[in-house]
Amino acid sequence: MVEDIKMFGKSLETVEEGPEQEAQRKAFEDRIAHGEKIEPGDWMPAEYRRQLIRMISQHAHSEVVGMLPEGAWIGRAPSLRRKMILLAKVQDEAGHGQYLYHAAETLGVSREELIEALLAGKAKYSSVFNYPALNWTDVGVIGYLVDFAAILNQTMLARCSYGPYARAMVRISAEENFNKKQGQDLVIRMAHGTLGEKAMVQDAINRWWWPTLMMFGPPDTASPNSAALIRWGIKTKTNDELRQEFVDKIIPELEALGLTVPDPGLSYGAESGHWMTGEINWDEFWRVVQGQGPCNQERMAARRAAHEEGRWVREALEAYAHHQGLG
């Protein structure tokens, strides 16, 4: 992806970053320091633009690929009510992908280029969606854990310095809250259900716990992008800070439901007031990011098939727009 984003940014990089741009850069950084939003037409350093394209496009891809694990359960939902809720949730994720591709487009990259990079296997998307949803309980646990993790990240990004991304995040976070609630509701019901149901939900938590923690990204010591992102107010918290926030919030909730996490190293620091987890398996994380997770191939095959099957819709829309004089 880095290579592709460099490619997307190539023509942009030539327009700026000479020594004469120092004053512009200073004015730009002052605006960020004063909490002003940077808007699409504003001057911005090429690296700021590149970082945003990288991050927003990965985020958009994550929403779209994120439809797949749960989408597979729409046809097998146990009641009409649950089916409607899940349909709405998966539809929300498609909408989030839309907003995010639009936000990326404001930076001078086309949606086609971004999608091409995804389908060619060059673009990244969240590692967490490369794990399988094995049974109905996983739908609840994904909503509860994964969407909660996403909300913490997105609430932070709603304050980011780039206007279109921040505004997309406000709406996405609001919708994501409903998504989390459907998952939490399912988990609570299962946790208070029969012994078998409780065992099922515990099993799903055991499988999704570590992938959810990995979602926040590598540890700060191994996060090459964090420094620039934080300097420019794109991220306002580090990967480890957000991960800690998640652990501190979710552990007491799970405990209240009589549920545990699969971490013998988990401990509470009475002095720090924080829950400390055991070591995350970063080898596994990097394997999944590099395409060797349990479902990477399946996810990409599904995306490619969906893209092909949707070709006639895109062509029909283009023909219609042309006919109307819009294209």
| Contact call for residue 127 and ligand ACO (CB under 6 A) | yes
Q: Which of 199, 73, 84, 91 is nearest to 139 (CA)?
A: 73
Contact residue for ligand ACO among 71, 217, 233, 293 (CB under 6 A): 217
Residue number with CB closer to ligand ACO (8 or 200): 8
Q: Which two tokens stand for residue 160?
A: 């980011």
Instruction: Tell me the pairing of strands 267-269 and 274-276.
Output: antiparallel
| Contact call for residue 296 and ligand ACO (CB under 6 A) | no
| Contact call for residue 133 and ligand ACO (CB under 6 A) | no
| Contact call for residue 124 and ligand ACO (CB under 6 A) | yes
Choose the stretch contacting ligand ACO; rule: CB under 6 A; options: 25-33, 51-59, 270-278, 294-302.
51-59
3-class SS of residue 269: strand
Residue number with CB closer to ligand ACO (63 or 245): 63
Residue number with CB closer to ligand ACO (145 or 200): 145
Choose the stretch contacting ligand ACO; rule: CB under 6 A; options: 20-28, 124-132, 247-255, 318-326.
124-132
By the 10 Å C-beta count (0-12 exposed, 13-18 middle, 19+ buried), 118 is classed as buried
Instruction: Give whole-number Cα distances, 82 to 85, 139, 183, in Å.
Output: 5, 10, 11
Contact residue for ligand ACO among 53, 55, 114, 142 (CB under 6 A): 55
Cα(300)–Cα(306) distance, rounded to whole angstroms?
A: 10
272-275, long-range: CB < 8 A, 24+ apart: 273/248, 274/244, 274/247, 274/248, 275/247, 275/248, 275/251
Choose the stretch contacting ligand ACO; rule: CB under 6 A; options: 69-77, 223-231, 249-257, 303-311.
223-231
What is the widest separation between alpha-carbon atoms in the chain? 70
Choose the stretch contacting ligand ACO; rule: CB under 6 A; options: 41-49, 120-128, 182-190, 193-201.
120-128
| Contact call for residue 226 and ligand ACO (CB under 6 A) | yes
Q: Which chain residues interact with ligand ACO by CB under 6 A?
A: 1-2, 54-55, 58-59, 62-63, 66, 124, 126-127, 150, 153, 214-218, 223-226, 229, 239, 289
